[in-house]
Structure 1
Amino acid sequence: MPTYNLKAIGVVPGAKDFIDIVLSKTQRGTPTVVHNGWAIQRIRQFYMRKVKFTQQNWNEKLSQILDEFPKVEDIHPFYADLLNVLYDKDHYKLALGQLNTARNLLDRVAQDYVRLLKYGDSLYRCKELKRAALGRMCTLMKRQGPSLAYLEQVRQHMSRLPAIDPNTRTLLLCGYPNVGKSSMMNKLTRAEVEVQPYAFTTKSLYVGHTDYKYLRWQVIDTPGILDRPLEERNTIEMQSITALAHLRAAVLYLVDVSERCGYSMAQQAALFHSIKPLFANKPVLIVANKIDVRKMEDLSAEDKQLLDGMVEEAKRISNGGAAAVAGDAGDEEVLLAMSTLSDEGVMEVKQAACDRLLNFRVEMKVAGKRISDVLNKIHVAQPKPRQGVAAGSRPPVIPAGVAEARARRAGGEVKKTERDLQEENGGAGVYSADLRKVYQLANPEWKYDIMPEIMDGHNVLDFVDPDIEAKLAELEREEAELEAAAEAAGGGEDMEDEDEEGLTEEQAADLKAIRARKKVLISEHRSKKNSHRNQAVMPAKLANARGRTSDAMQRSLGALGIDASKAAERARSQSRGRKRERSASKAPSGADEDVDMEGGEKKKRVHSSKSRSMSRGRSHSLAEPRAGSGLKDVAQRNKGIKMADRAQWRMNKMAKVGESDRVIQTKMPKHLFSGKTPGHGTRNRR
């Protein structure tokens, strides 16, 4: 039985789009130029090719649609009934049948007009036959517009259906609306099903997955079912009926014992008994939900009787299935209680349902006919009892040496192993082995000494003072005493007076001026620090406008008795730039001397014998080679620059930026773009 990926079905275009797609492909995929001077056989072949190409495109497109849509007879009965419920099986098959008929008619039309084109006697007649053929094909496809639109709607809805595997391990949640199926689904899986306090919030099947015993389980949340005849149920309810009828799953019938769902216990019991034929050959569990509102002990006698009736019926159904093979289905617990609000009992329900389903699937395989093929390949060897020895009467034998060693170890005579210590001290994961006890040192007392931590060649422990806390406390106590003594003596002014003792009048005046200036600088700095974000940054060229000149520096330092003339002279020399050596005595040999008259004085300009042009001077650097570049002097560096320029000149000659550049030298080669070739057709590649 093939499985279908409903999400992989391609888009079904509308009739108009379908025609545009096929005719456009015909125009692009076949020759477009025909001449009246050609031989009539060549003209016939030209138009026959267009008709056949169009018919082939129609056939491929329609065959793809028919193959991708699932066939009702070939898929699992669950999907077949679901298609019937959602889309009406007759309408669905009728739409696919119309497309199949249209495909056959298109093939017949193309065949008829190709036969007529074989006898076309002129270009005009062949062209009209081609137009008639394509026109009839388009008319046929226009009539399939409603079928194509219907199939596109079906495809869109199918792509949104959940991927349900009918053959895997499945838990199926069913019951009246608003009894807590979606809430339980959210607790068991990571699916986020909408939960609302009103009926029919869930309108379709929802699928989630959970893990139990290293196996993946499928959990299906079904819409609520009402207790009424089958022919009166709507599409939403019929989805649940279809899942119950065809899926081999563990059925969890949820009962709202609080009756807050809007339905009484009698109504829920009646629904269970009305749909119990759908539970045949399936493990069934009765799950009492919302016990946080109403405890099981608080149920009335009538409600308990209704629950007991459902439990007995569930056991009877389970005994009628494959569980009867083992004979223990009646002993298993069928009635379970939980609360999805407080999570009480939810995991217990999951475990019970999964265990029931696992046992059910195993028993079904054992009861089936295929198990004999497997059992024939399995041989279980059974040892035969020896003569004089009764079966099961042989106790375990421990060698005497092993028993003696165990006794001595238990008494402390033998050194205990690490395994013994581990078992005595909490077991694996709790016990931590002591590795220091096996250290072999000169003095065994050193085994548990603190190991030195070495940093920068020094032992960190040598710089650790164990009494640091006491010493810090002593220092703080001394500072507190000194501060108390200073306050008792009259504050900080006396301290300043002590500093001024032994100074002359001039020194005292200077000290007072320095302190005043210090206060001014501190206040200016604090004001700038607080308001610097609101001030514009002054460029360096405006420094003179702010008084930051060499003369101002000289005056301020001169007032303090510091000679700043040399600093000002150095600043002036640096601001003028590098000064050339203009002494004639230092000129190199072979240099020429030019004499200019300026202000009655002679100035000599020394020109290097190594003159360079402007362009070469730009490419060559006057700086020394960078360290690590492998060039020992400026000459080698200039030589390298010349070699690089020469290599790039070759690239430029080939119109390339670099060696890896891809360039097309001739945009339109004449041998590809020059007219017809005499006697051998044309250069037209279409």
Structure 2
Amino acid sequence: MVQYNLKKITVVPNGKDFIDIILSRTQRQTPTVVHKGYAISRLRQFYMRKVKYTQQNFHEKLSTIIDEFPRLDDIHPFYGDLLHVLYNKDHYKLALGQINTARNLIGKIAKDYVKLLKYGDSLYRCKCLKVAALGRMCTVIKRIAPSLAYLEQIRQHMARLPSIDPNTRTVLICGYPNVGKSSFINKITRADVDVQPYAFTTKSLFVGHTDYKYLRYQVIDTPGILDRPFEDRNIIEMCSITALAHLRAAVLFFLDISGSCGYSIAQQAALFHSIKSLFMNKPLIIVCNKTDLQPLEGISEEDMKLVMEMKAESMKTLIGQGGEAASDQGVLLTMSTLTEDGVISVKNAACERLLDQRVELKMKSKKINECLNRFHVAIPKPRDQKERPHCIPQAVLEVKAKQAAEKEKRKTERDLEDENGGAGVYSASLKKNYMLANDEWKEDVMPEIIDGHNVYDFIDPDILQRLEELEQEEGLRQAEEADDDFEMDGKELTPEEQQALAEIRKKKSLLIQQHRVKKSTAESRPIVPRKFDKDRQFSTGRMGRQLSALGLDPALAINRARSRSRGRKRERSAERGANDGGDIMDMDVDTPNKKQRLRSLSRSRSKSRPPGEIVPGEGFKDSSQKVKAAKLAKKSAKKRNKDARRGEADRVIPTLKPKHLFSGKRSIGKTQRR
């Protein structure tokens, strides 16, 4: 089990929230009603209780923060150094120290003001002392607000750290960046580490778990390390160095022999020799990766010499191995994470070596004697010289042989799928395992029953043949209709009729062309006034000829069109006509009613419709009903328009004074504040 659960640390509130939480709790959990008529001892107790309760709440909260954050000197050295690398041990301790100092200061403030409240001589004096005590406590919290914010950032980052158990069976993967470490851990565990074709994709430690011989192993993927001085390494590289230094694990040093990672074998060998002190007393395996691009036998002699030197160094770091030939096996392995060639053998070798080392260390410890004393291995002594081999009955052997033969002969659904076209083509039969009296019944079609009748009884078996006959008959009928279509070809017409037909066709094609031209230029064609219309297509003469051809008198229409086309010119008023010798009565005769007279006075100017005028089709009974409906619509939109300002971008404070912070307790019998 993991000893340190960094994900369960309580959230650290910021300074303002801290004060609001404590003062709100004080207001809710202590009495809030006090009167001038109370005895002075009761007033003192009332305010002393407030101060003590506030101090206790501050003390509990601050103590929780101090206790839940790990102490770097008391935890495992791996976690201590990792937290120091990530957060700087000095800043971390300073922040926790300021929290501890604030807790002591708040306790001292409460003690001093409680002593003063014991001698308060009035309600006003006691209240002022209480306000001063709570104010000084809040001031202390405000001063440590940066430390609280810093610890909250650390808490959030700690929650994202992987849960690593320093004492369990561990396989550690290290090497240069982009040599295939993350691909390997993705192959042997269910970890989902991001893999990209560039360096430093992995920026922190990642943990996965795998099984070997019914035991759970912890696999740690570390960020890439560069060959440079210790002082120049960044935080990402120091995470790997910390894991190598403090974890008892089997180390897999990955070597990219193809050079596709961007670093040569000489550079990787230099890194190996610079950090080989971290491999002491640990099972070490050198893994040559990416053999699909470059096999180990195909590298140059210089590179092979460097690899052999690394192999010799790794053999020196082994402890307690039997002989040189035995230790040769599993020290230098090759694999390819792309083709998965050798991946499982590398995993098994690392787990086996780690298991052997742990067993051997336990055998050397002092505790093993206590365990061995509890075991007794009984070895039976032979009673005579007669050999008694194992005896298995013949019937049991026959049953086992039959089961083995059936197992070999039986085909799985996957085999059947491969034989019959693969996935998407083969469909497994769900009926073949039905237990019926006759095996031929398994593939029978299930009857569909509707209203107590079998649907199949009402299906005509010759329906497809009849459908084909109907389609042929319909095709013959359509062919006959196509032959009967009349098309005027002009062979049976007289010369006059042929000439008329040619003119009709010419006129028709001309109209079609004109229509297409108008349609194609409708949007961009300018509107040409009548006086610039040279073709005179819409002249009054043309209109007269067309109306005369229809047997109508065109005089009234022509006069009306001429009177309308005089432009925007004011009509003469009645007085002007009277002065000019005209007769007002003649104009009344021409325009019978008042509405027409008004319209004739200013025909060329438009007039806006009053809001109460009814337009046909609106559905109103009269103008008053329309005005009333408009008022109701405007009134209903008022609230929506008022609330329309409230949005994510508006600076709106929904409640200026929250009820739970600015109201006292309910008195007896009142339930409206609940």
Question: TM-score normalised to the size of structure 2?
Answer: 0.60
Q: Which residue pairs with 1:673 in the alignment? A: 669
Question: 1:311-352 deviations in whole A, cap 9, x for unaligned?
Answer: 111111013xxx348998624321000111111111111111
- Alpha carbons of 1:685 and 1:375: their partners in 2 closer, same or farther (altered >3 Å)? farther
User: Do the aligned residues in 2 keep the contact of 1:325 with 1:367 (CA within 8 Å)?
Assistant: no
AA in 2 matched with 1:271:
L
Deviation at 1:3, TM superposition (A): 2.0
Deviation at 1:383, TM superposition (A): 3.9
1:341 maps onto 2:319 in alignment = no
Q: Which residue pairs with 1:609 in the alignment? A: none
Q: 1:423 aligns with which of 397, 401, 419?
A: 401
Paired with 2:102 and 2:348, the residues of 1 have a C-alpha distance of 55
Paired with 1:122 and 1:685, the residues of 2 have a C-alpha distance of 31
Q: Which residue pairs with 1:618 in the alignment? A: none
Query: 1:255 aligns to what SS in structure 2?
Result: strand
Question: Mapping of 1:168-207 within 5 angstroms?
Answer: 168-207=168-207
- Alpha carbons of 1:672 and 1:38: their partners in 2 closer, same or farther (altered >3 Å)? closer
Paired with 1:122 and 1:202, the residues of 2 have a C-alpha distance of 68
Question: 1:447-489 deviations in whole A, cap 9, x for unaligned?
Answer: xxx956999xxxx9xxxxxxxxxxxxxx99xx99xx9xxx9xx
Paired with 1:56 and 1:419, the residues of 2 have a C-alpha distance of 79
User: Which segment is superposed worse, 421-430 or 231-240?
Assistant: 421-430
Q: Which residue pairs with 2:45 in the alignment? A: 45
**Aligned-pair RMSD on alpha carbons?**
3.3
Paired with 2:297 and 2:323, the residues of 1 have a C-alpha distance of 33
Paired with 2:158 and 2:52, the residues of 1 have a C-alpha distance of 34
Question: 1:86-114 deviations in whole A, cap 9, x for unaligned?
Answer: 00111111111111111111111101110
User: Do the aligned residues in 2 keep the contact of 1:315 with 1:329 (CA within 8 Å)?
Assistant: no
1:358 maps onto 2:355 in alignment = yes
Q: Which residue pairs with 1:313 in the alignment? A: 313
- Alpha carbons of 1:184 and 1:430: their partners in 2 closer, same or farther (altered >3 Å)? closer
- Alpha carbons of 1:230 and 1:418: their partners in 2 closer, same or farther (altered >3 Å)? closer
Paired with 1:27 and 1:326, the residues of 2 have a C-alpha distance of 77
Q: Which residue pairs with 1:146 in the alignment? A: 146
- Alpha carbons of 1:42 and 1:397: their partners in 2 closer, same or farther (altered >3 Å)? closer
Deviation at 1:377, TM superposition (A): 1.5
Q: Which residue pairs with 1:20 in the alignment? A: 20
Question: 1:288-315 deviations in whole A, cap 9, x for unaligned?
Answer: 0111111111111111111111111111
AA in 2 matched with 1:144:
I
Q: Which residue pairs with 1:396 in the alignment? A: 388
Question: 1:141-163 deviations in whole A, cap 9, x for unaligned?
Answer: 11101110110110010011111
Which ranges in structure 1 are unaligned for 5 or more consecutive residues?
407-416, 433-449, 461-474, 492-670, 675-682
AA in 1 matched with 2:24:
S
Q: Which residue pairs with 1:113 in the alignment? A: 113
Deviation at 1:64, TM superposition (A): 0.8
Paired with 1:398 and 1:162, the residues of 2 have a C-alpha distance of 53
Paired with 2:403 and 2:362, the residues of 1 have a C-alpha distance of 48
Question: Mapping of 1:191-340 within 5 angstroms?
Answer: 191-319=191-319, 323-324=320-321, 330-340=327-337
Question: 1:583-605 deviations in whole A, cap 9, x for unaligned?
Answer: xxxxxxxxxxxxxxxxxxxxxxx
Query: 1:210 aligns to what SS in structure 2?
Result: strand
User: Do the aligned residues in 1 keep the contact of 2:223 with 2:239 (CA within 8 Å)?
Assistant: yes
Question: Mapping of 1:82-161 within 5 angstroms?
Answer: 82-161=82-161
AA in 1 matched with 2:243:
A
Q: Which residue pairs with 1:664 in the alignment? A: none
- Alpha carbons of 1:305 and 1:374: their partners in 2 closer, same or farther (altered >3 Å)? same
Seq. identity, %: 63
User: Do the aligned residues in 1 keep the contact of 2:162 with 2:205 (CA within 8 Å)?
Assistant: yes
Paired with 1:210 and 1:451, the residues of 2 have a C-alpha distance of 49
Deviation at 1:385, TM superposition (A): 6.0
- Alpha carbons of 1:295 and 1:452: their partners in 2 closer, same or farther (altered >3 Å)? closer
Deviation at 1:684, TM superposition (A): 14
Question: Mapping of 1:380-529 within 5 angstroms?
Answer: 380-384=377-381, 395-396=387-388, 417=395, 419-420=397-398, 422-423=400-401, 426-427=404-405, 429-430=407-408, 451=437
User: Do the aligned residues in 2 keep the contact of 1:14 with 1:148 (CA within 8 Å)?
Assistant: yes
Query: 1:260 aligns to what SS in structure 2?
Result: coil
Deviation at 1:282, TM superposition (A): 0.9
Question: 1:126-178 deviations in whole A, cap 9, x for unaligned?
Answer: 11111111111111111101110110110010011111111112111100011
User: Do the aligned residues in 1 keep the contact of 2:170 with 2:219 (CA within 8 Å)?
Assistant: yes
Paired with 2:328 and 2:334, the residues of 1 have a C-alpha distance of 18
Paired with 1:165 and 1:232, the residues of 2 have a C-alpha distance of 29
How many equivalent residue pairs?
Answer: 433
User: Do the aligned residues in 2 keep the contact of 1:425 with 1:431 (CA within 8 Å)?
Assistant: no
- Alpha carbons of 1:328 and 1:20: their partners in 2 closer, same or farther (altered >3 Å)? farther
Query: 1:429 aligns to what SS in structure 2?
Result: helix
